[in-house]
Amino acid sequence: MSPLNFFEWLADVPWSVDLHESQYAYSIIESMHVWAMSLFFGMTVMFDLRLLGWTMRSVPVSEVIRRLRPWTIAGFVLMVISGSLLFFAIPLRSYQNIFFRTKMLLLLLAGLNVLIFHSRIFRDVAGWDTDAVPPRAVRRAGALSLALWIGVLFSGRMIAYNWFDCDRQPQPGIINFLTSCTATEAGP
Amino acid sequence: MSLLPFFQWCYATGIGETIRESTWLFPVIEAFHLLGLGLTAGSVLLVDLRLLGAGLNGQPVIPLFLSEAIKCYYSFPFWVKMTSLLLALIFTFTLRRRVTRTDVAAERPLPARLTGLISICLWFGVAWGGRWIGFS
């Protein structure tokens, strides 16, 4: 079973159809997604700015992370739940959406950055905890996080405006390749 | 006097027309709008969560509005958003400022908590109304 077949099947699951066709459910979930995003993104930006030494310079980095982490995690969990539901409502179109694919890729990279930060860089926080401007490696992680999450936010917002949709042909060959649009959809 | 003529004028501006006719301008400006939302939320929440005793011690909106000003005039969520925004701004620069200036959070937790809660609710109302303009 190819991914395409799987998402075609998923799009026909009654729950997915219900979500898609409901008058209010999709909009409400989408609003939840924006709320959760503002919580998660807001907290993340503040933490990244602290890593860059641009804000809250007199507060130890470990203190900032200790206080912000519960809210960041709460925002992220809500975001993943609401986001999964949004995907579940429109699985096939999202799967073939170039902005959705970009978002997933950036999300993966952002996750890796978090993982590397916590497993390596943050380990020796004691050495630079009270620095107004942390060392270069720390600032680099902060800048990367900021760039990646802004990328996630941008590509995420673009998903709804997809002007590279498979149904809007003709598209350049590279686009159809990147979005797995099939030849029949691409037309002559 | 109705505000409709003003909204019609906004709709007819060159900026509004350019954005309306472009494929990608509206989405890109909206992404910047969302970025601004995230930044505002970050700084507002930081203080409000602190007031609640649980946290730590400008956006490109006009172009978007111009491109669909008449839709906004007839949109209920648009007026919900603008009312919440007005209330949030008034609240921020009056009561909330008085609370955050002093160290009231330590002395009188209840008023501080209420202030934080009201502020969060107002800003979430702005976000909610804003998101629903697109659905109406």
> Is the model's pLDDT at A160 over the cut of 70?
yes
Q: Which of residues 39-78 of A touch B (CB under 8 A)?
A: 39, 41-46, 56, 59, 63-64, 67-68, 71
pLDDT tens track for A55-109: 888 889 998 898 889 999 999 999 999 999 999 999 888 898 999 999 999 999 9
Per the CB < 8 Å rule, is A157 touching B39? no
pLDDT tens track for B42-97: 888 877 777 776 554 444 567 777 778 777 777 888 888 888 888 888 888 877 77
pLDDT score of A79? 94
Rounded to the nearest angstrom, the minimum Cα separation between B5 and chain A is: 29
For A42, the closest of B26, B38, B57 (CB atoms) is B38
List Cβ neighbours of A158 (8 Å cut-off, separation of 6 or more): A99, A102, B27, B31
Per the CB < 8 Å rule, is A56 touching B56? yes
Q: Which residues of B touch A46 (CB under 8 A)?
A: 42-43, 46
pTM: 0.81
Q: Which residues of A touch B51 (CB under 8 A)?
A: none
Q: Which of residues 56-115 of B touch A (CB under 8 A)?
A: 56-57
CA nearest to A58 within chain B: B57
pLDDT score of A40? 94
Gap between the Cα atoms of B33 and A37, Å rounded = 13
Band of pLDDT at residue A139, cut at 50, 70 and 90 = very high
CA nearest to B129 within chain A: A31
A to B CB pairs, distance under 8 Å: 80
pLDDT, mean over chain B: 79
CB B96 within 8 A of CB B119: yes
Band of pLDDT at residue B2, cut at 50, 70 and 90 = confident
pLDDT score of B105? 54
Residue located via tokens 């942390």: A134
pLDDT tens track for B101-110: 776 556 667 7
In the structure encoding, which two tokens stand for residue B62, read together? 């006009």
> Is the model's pLDDT at A21 over the cut of 50?
yes
> CA nearest B133: which of B88, B44, B70, B60?
B70
